[in-house]
Structure formats: structure tokens, C-alpha cells
């Protein structure tokens, strides 16, 4: 969620370098090249002293084994490594693009064969060196020499803990028909394909970045859980809500859900979602990661009243959940228009503990949502890599198939609420278009004022 490097990302995108084709056409300030450029420009002293720059997953492997072995996942998804290119370096797959770093102002990064960001790039799950060092084993309470697999980004580990579970459980649902939704403060939406699929505004395609030998396409939303919490806890009613939750031994989300269902029953509504008929929320409070790929966008709420009650808060909370779900629908539709055939969502993360969140996503996206038997799918995905590194399974895909299993399935209501959500989805897009028109009006006004000042 760190967007400090927005200007640096814009600077990089203006180059139009071909590397950008593999990040959805535009690099995000959430990726490492803009962050490195920000650090070089704003903290030159630190930049000059730094010996290595790590992604967290790679740093943990480095600390665990003493070996600087980078992951094809981290480097391809966040550092612009071209994993699909033929490698010219011994012990690696793929290669860096020297011209990219020189073009964007990071000409010192390629020095000494990319010593600072990764000389040795290896596939996820491959065993690293001799395993845990004595010191790391002591700190972790494990045996020296325990196998350590090449690491992976946390959300991508969730993909490994999700995407294998439907392969044997339902033969009609193929791996390519699934999208993995890994939710937290922000969310990732990940799908894989045998061949590269280029989707404007959606990160990737990344070769072997999650499942070796397959191409990964990665959508996402910059604020999801963080957005819902912002709506709740910035309200004057939040303290009262917390007190009630503590008194009843429930979460604030459970209390809000209960309140919404009571409201819907009192108003004789066919479905709880219809409570927001006149209340709409555009979820871009922290910009849009995909598919609009614009970190400068802003959120909006239409239909506010002077209400300052728990019921009013509950309605805004519902509109927030729906706004996030319309964002997921937009990502899936964009990917399907570009060549995917996604029909099923597999999900993990905090939002999956909220039944209303799941219901609205299933209804709005028109897709069943399959939850894993093991709810901590990110940890399960990490275990998949550990099992491969230890030699328990010969490949990541086989480990996924053996270790993943279906928990429960949330099916959409179908025609019951489809027309309603189709209408609100139109409002979702119209609110974005309106925001652009407002920006155009104000930009013209700003130019006129500046021109007038220059003349004076």
C-alpha cells in the first residue's frame, strides 16, 4: 500500500519501455523499481551505502541459509525480471533487462551482474543450499539442515494453497477457470494460463512466478479490508459498536451483518443487498491497482444523508463491501475479455470469515466461491513449497493437488438479484467516469488561474 513513489512510477511509465508490457502496460508505485528510484533520489546517502536490496521472502531465505538466492516469483512480479527470456547467467532462469534500468535512471543496478538485487534467480520450492544454518535453526527451534525452499510472495503462496483444490474435486472446473482471491488490507486476484495472456492494467503475464511452467496474471485492489475498516472506524458510532461487540462476544462485522438483515426484513426487501438502492460507493480511496492502473484515483460515496446512527453506519459498511465486490467483478470481466475463461473464485483471507462479504461477492460476480478446508491457505502454500524442497513431492503442481482440499462453496443467488447488481455495477462505472469529468473541469480551471497569474 506504499504509494510514495507515484511520481517515480509516472517517470518510468513515460519511457514506454518494452519491460512494461509484462506489468500490464504500466508499472505501479507498489513495485520495486519505482521504490528504488525514490530511494536513490530522496535518500542518496542510504542508496550509496546499501549493499543489497531484498524482497522479504528472499531476505528470509538469505537469513535462513546464508545464501543469496532470489525467487523467480519476487523478482518477476515486483522487480521486472524477465523469467521467460533465455538465461545468460549460470545458475539462473530468465534474465534482467540492462536497458530498462539504464533508461529509468538506475544505471548502477546492473553493476557486478546485479549483485544488489539478485545474481542467482531460482524457481519457487527448489531447495536452497544445505538448508537451515546452525544459527537459524537455533533461532527457529528447528533442526540444522532442515530443507529451505526458494521463497514466494505471501499472496502468491495463497494462490498455491487455493488453486489446486478443485482439480480433483470437480473435473468440470479446470485450473485455468479459477481465480484466486487473497484478501487482507489489500487484495490480489491471481489466475494462471499455459500461454501468456496480456491484459491492460493487470499485472503480468509473469512466467513461472507462482506455478512453475505456467504464466501468472495478477489483478488487485489497493485497499479492501483497510477500506471496510476505514468506513467503520472513522464513524462516530464506532466506539458504541465496539462496546456492543465486546458485550456480546462478537465481532463488529457480525453485529453490522445482523443489523443489516434485520433492516432488510423490516423493510420487506427481497435481499439484504437492496438496502443500498440509493447509496453507492466507489472504492478507489487509495487509488486503483487494476484494471484502471491509476494510483491517483479517489473514492466516492453517493447518497449520503444526515443520519448518524448505527443503521446508517451499517448501510455504508454494506455499500463498501459491494464497492469492493464490483471491483473484483471488473477485474474478472477485464481478464475474461482478454482471453481468460474464469468461472470460479477460490478465496482466502480475512474477508472469507465474513459471510456477508462472501455472499455479496458471489452474487455480484456471478461466480461460486470455493473456500479451502484449510482456512490459512497462505500458510498451506508455504507448506507446499517446503514439501517440494524436502523432496516429499516432485513438483509444486503435484504438491498442490495432494495438499489442497475443498471446504465449502458459496453459490450465487443467480437471477434473484442479478438485475439489481447489474444496475449498481453501471453506477460503479458511471461514478468513475464522473470523477474523470470533475478532474477535467478543475484542471482547466487551474490552468486558467495559473495563466492569469503569469500574465499579471
Q: 413 with 445: CB under 8 angstroms?
A: no
Do 365 and 417 reside in the same domain of the chain? yes
Q: How far is residue 153's CA from residue 160's CA, in Å, rounded to a whole number?
A: 11
Q: 204 and 72 in one domain?
A: no
pLDDT tens digit sequence for 384-440 = 999 999 999 999 999 999 999 999 999 999 778 999 999 999 999 999 999 999 999
Q: What does the pLDDT look like over 100-116, one tens digit per residue?
A: 999 999 999 999 889 99
Position 336 scores a pLDDT of 97
My answer on whether 205 and 317 are in the same domain is yes
**Same domain, yes or no, for 132 and 19?**
yes
Residues 117 and 174 in one domain: no
Tell me what pLDDT residue 165 has.
82
Is a pLDDT exceeding 70 seen at residue 172? no
Closest-CA residue to 216 (of 202, 204, 227):
204
Task: Find the mean pLDDT for residues 167-181.
Answer: 73
CB 101 within 8 Å of CB 109 = yes
Q: Which residue in 392, 328, 399 sits closest to 357, CA to CA?
A: 328
Q: Is residue 450 part of a domain?
A: yes
**169 has pLDDT over 70:** no
Give pLDDT, residue 360.
98
Q: Residue 168 above 60 pLDDT? A: no
Range of the domain at 11: 6-140
Boundary of a domain, candidates 89, 122, 140: 140
Lowest mean pLDDT among 203-207, 342-346, 404-408: 404-408
Among 174, 66, 81, CA closest to 123: 81
Residue 357: the pLDDT is 97
Summarize the confidence of residues 216-220 as an average pLDDT. 96
Domain count, the chain: 2
Per-residue pLDDT of 4-61, as tens digits, reads 999 999 999 999 999 999 999 999 999 999 999 999 999 999 999 999 999 999 999 9
Question: Would residue 1 count as lying in a domain?
Answer: no
**241 plus 288 within the same structural domain:** yes
Any domain includes 150: no
pLDDT of residue 455: 75
Indicate if the pLDDT at residue 252 is higher than 90. yes
The pLDDT score that the predictor gives to residue 414 is 77
Q: What's the confidence (pLDDT) of residue 174?
A: 75
Q: Read off the pTM.
A: 0.93
Report the C-alpha gap between 7 and 18 in whole angstroms: 20
Please report whether residue 153 resides in a domain.
no
Is residue 33 one of the residues assigned to a domain?
yes
- Read off the pLDDT of each residue in 197-214 and give the average, rounded to a whole number: 96
62 and 107 part of one domain: yes
Nearest CA-CA partner of 62 in 123, 110, 125, 129:
129
90 pLDDT more than 70:
no
User: Is the pLDDT reported for residue 173 higher than 80?
Assistant: no
Share of the chain above pLDDT 70, in %: 97
Judge whether 147 lies within some domain.
no
Is there a domain that residue 152 lies in? no
Write the CATH number for 19: 3.30.420.40
Give domain status of residue 162, yes or no: no
Same domain, residue pair 230 and 115: no
Task: Tell me what percent of the residues of the chain surpass a pLDDT of 90.
Answer: 90
C-beta separation of 213 from 375 below 8 A? no
Q: Which residues pair with 348 in a beta bridge?
A: 182
- The alpha-carbon radius of gyration of the chain (Å, integer) is 23
Select from 410, 365, 21, 69 the least CA-distant residue to 202.
21
* 345 and 407 share one domain: yes
pLDDT bin (cut points 50, 70, 90) of residue 248 is: very high
Q: Is the model more confident about 165 or about 292?
A: 292
Beta-carbon contacts of 368 under 8 Å, excluding residues fewer than 6 positions away, are 344, 345, 362, 409, 410, 411, 412
113 Rama class: left (phi>0) / alpha (psi -120 to 50) / beta: left
Q: Tell me 410's DSSP state.
A: E
173 and 136 inside one domain: no
Would you give the DSSP letter of residue 168?
A: H
pLDDT at 450: 85
Three-class HEC string of 93-130:
CCECCHHHHHHHCCCCCCHHHHCCCCCEEECCCCECCC
Of 48-52, 86-90, 245-249, give the lowest mean pLDDT range: 86-90
**Domain match, 136 and 200 both:** no
pLDDT digits (tens, 9 = 90+) for 223-243: 999 999 999 999 999 999 999
Mean pLDDT of all residues in 188-205: 96
Q: Examine the pLDDT at 148 and tell me if it is beyond 70.
A: yes
Over residues 138-158, mean pLDDT: 96
75 and 27, same domain (yes or no):
yes
Q: Indicate the Cα dihedral angle 138, 144, 147, 150, nearest 10°.
A: 50
Amino acid at each position: 500500500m506504499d504509494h510514495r513513489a507515484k511520481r517515480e512510477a509516472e517517470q518510468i511509465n513515460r519511457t514506454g519501455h518494452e519491460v512494461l508490457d509484462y506489468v500490464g502496460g504500466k508499472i505501479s508505485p507498489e513495485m520495486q523499481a519505482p521504490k528504488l528510484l525514490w530511494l536513490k533520489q530522496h535518500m542518496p546517502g542510504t542508496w550509496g551505502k546499501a549493499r543489497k536490496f531484498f524482497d522479504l521472502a528472499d531476505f528470509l531465505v538469505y537469513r535462513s541459509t546464508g545464501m543469496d538466492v532470489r525467487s523467480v516469483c519476487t523478482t518477476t512480479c515486483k522487480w521486472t525480471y524477465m523469467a521467460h527470456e533465455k538465461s545468460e547467467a549460470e545458475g539462473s532462469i530468465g534474465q534482467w533487462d540492462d536497458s530498462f534500468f539504464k533508461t529509468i535512471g538506475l544505471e548502477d543496478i546492473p553493476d557486478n551482474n546485479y549483485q544488489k538485487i539478485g545474481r542467482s534467480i531460482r524457481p519457487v520450492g527448489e531447495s536452497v543450499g544445505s538448508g537451515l544454518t546452525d544459527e537459524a535453526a537455533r533461532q527457529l527451534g528447528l533442526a540444522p539442515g532442515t530443507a529451505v525452499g526458494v521463497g514466494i510472495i505471501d499472496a502468491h503462496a495463497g494462490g498455491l494453497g487455493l488453486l489446486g483444490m478443485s482439480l480433483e474435486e470437480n473435473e468440470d472446473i479446470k485450473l485455468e477457470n479459477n481465480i484466486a482471491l487473497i484478501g487482507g488490507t489489500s487484495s490480489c486476484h491471481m489466475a494462471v494460463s499455459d500461454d501468456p495472456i496480456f491484459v491492460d492494467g493487470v499485472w503480468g503475464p509473469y512466467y513461472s512466478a507462482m506455478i512453475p511452467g505456467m504464466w501468472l496474471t495478477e489483478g488487485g485492489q489497493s485497499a479492501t479490508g483497510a477500506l471496510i475498516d476505514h468506513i467503520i472506524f472513522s464513524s462516530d458510532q464506532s466506539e458504541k459498536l465496539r462496546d456492543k461487540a465486546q458485550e456480546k462476544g462478537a465481532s463488529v462485522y457480525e453485529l453490522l451483518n445482523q443489523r443489516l438483515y434485520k433492516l432488510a426484513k423490516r423493510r420487506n426487501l427481497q435481499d439484504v443487498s437492496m438496502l443500498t438502492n440509493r447509496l453507492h460507493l466507489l472504492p478507489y480511496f487509495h487509488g486503483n491497482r487494476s484494471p484502471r492502473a491509476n494510483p491517483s484515483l479517489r473514492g466516492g460515496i453517493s447518497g449520503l444523508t444526515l443520519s448518524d446512527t448505527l443503521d446508517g453506519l451499517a448501510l455504508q459498511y454494506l455499500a463498501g463491501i459491494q464497492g469492493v465486490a464490483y471491483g473484483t467483478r471488473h477485474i474478472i470481466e477485464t481478464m475474461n475479455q482478454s482471453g481468460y475463461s474464469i468461472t470460479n473464485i477460490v478465496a482466502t483471507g480475512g474477508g472469507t470469515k465474513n459471510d456477508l462479504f462472501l455472499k455479496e461477492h458471489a452474487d455480484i460476480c456471478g461466480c461460486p466461491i470455493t473456500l479451502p478446508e484449510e482456512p490459512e491457505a497462505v500458510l498451506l502454500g508455504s507448506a507446499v513449497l517446503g514439501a517440494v524442497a524436502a523432496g516429499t513431492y516432485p513438483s509444486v503442481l503435484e504438491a498442490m493437488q495432494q495438499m489442497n482440499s475443498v471446504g465449502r462453496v458459496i453459490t450465487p443467488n443467480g437471477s434473484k438479484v442479478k438485475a439489481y447488481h447489474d444496475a449498481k455495477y453501471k453506477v460503479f462505472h458511471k461514478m468513475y467516469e464522473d470523477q474523470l469529468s470533475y478532474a477535467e473541469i478543475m484542471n482547466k480551471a487551474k490552468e486558467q488561474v495559473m495563466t492569469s497569474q503569469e500574465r499579471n
